[in-house]
Amino acid sequence: MPGPVACDMGIHRIDELTERQKQCLRGIYANLSIKEIGQQLDLSPHTVTEHLRDARRLLGVSRSMQAARLLVRQEGDTRDVPMPMGVAVEAAPADIDAASPTGLVRNRYNLSAFKRIGLTVAVAFSALAFVGALIVGADAINRVFVGYRIDISDPPYRK
């Protein structure tokens, strides 16, 4: 139960956020990157990160998106906050997360389960192909040394 208590305490502290912290949180809610938020607000990415860190500490949450959701929920007026990209209007069963204050998580890349499995298989296959290429390359180098009867223990190869 520590999560909801921290969130309830955080809602009361939203008034203590600076306007820059609120702007950065709105950017996070809109699914913008740190660089994009910095460009919009004419801040460096480091400064944006600092504002987000300070906002998380003040609200007592561990993730910037949690803080952003608290802010948007507290404000109630989302005219200045664009709808987050990659978020379905209705939650799919896979988007439910009990640890999240709202119970939902965002599918940032908007991939179906089938596409995620396919991507996982593709990454695994690529890793195997890379390892195979390394083994073939090592074997080729070994054959060159054996073919030319090069012994790296000979004096010219030792220091």
Contact 81, 54 (CB under 8 A): no
Same domain, 144 and 91: no
Looking up residue 52, the CATH number of its domain turns out to be: 1.10.10.10
Residue 4's pLDDT is: 40
What is the count of structural domains for the chain? 2
> Which residue segment(s) compose the domain that 77 sits in?
2-95
What letters, b where the CB count within 10 A reaches 16 and e where it falls short, cover 119-152?
eeeeeeeeeeeeeeeeeeeeeeeeeeeeeeeeee
Residue 85's pLDDT is: 53
Residue 14's pLDDT is: 83
Same domain, 57 and 8: yes
Contact 70, 21 (CB under 8 A): no
Residue 42's pLDDT is: 92
* pLDDT values of the chain reduced to their tens digit, one per residue, 159 residues: 334 434 444 455 788 899 999 999 989 988 888 999 999 999 999 999 999 999 999 988 989 988 888 888 888 765 555 555 544 444 455 444 455 555 555 555 667 888 889 999 999 999 999 999 999 999 998 888 777 777 767 676 665
In a domain, 142, yes or no: yes
Query: At residue 109, what are phi and psi to the nearest 5 degrees?
Result: -100, 0
Residue 18's pLDDT is: 92
Query: At residue 129, what are phi and psi to the nearest 5 degrees?
Result: -65, -40
Contact 22, 64 (CB under 8 A): no
Cα 48 from chain centre: 16
Same domain, 87 and 153: no
Residue 106's pLDDT is: 53
Residue 88's pLDDT is: 47
Residues 58, 91, 108, 116: what is their CA dihedral angle, to the nearest 10 degrees? 140
